[in-house]
Amino acid sequence: MSTTTLYTTEALVKLSVHPPGVEQATADRLVQTTHQVCPYSNAARGNIDVTLEATV
């Protein structure tokens, strides 16, 4: 009888942004839009769970 052991890894990222001087809705849009066009975000998309957070 043989036994197979599987190992998994998971990468998680939380991006917290605090842009001073803007309203919350604007900060949320900026973070979402930037995440969509960022080369690093594009490379990680589908491979790393990313949570975005904007606070003003």
- pLDDT tens for 1-54 read 677 778 878 888 999 999 999 999 999 999 999 999 999 999 988 889 999 999
Place of tokens 């066009």: 37
User: Are 32 and 26 contacting, i.e. CB atoms less than 8 angstroms apart?
Assistant: no
pLDDT at 1: 66
Is 41 in contact with 5 (CB distance < 8 Å)? no
pLDDT of residue 38: 94
Residues 6+ apart with CB under 8 A from 30: 17, 19, 22, 54
User: How far is 56 from 42, CA to CA, in rounded Å?
Assistant: 25
Q: pTM surpassing 0.85?
A: no
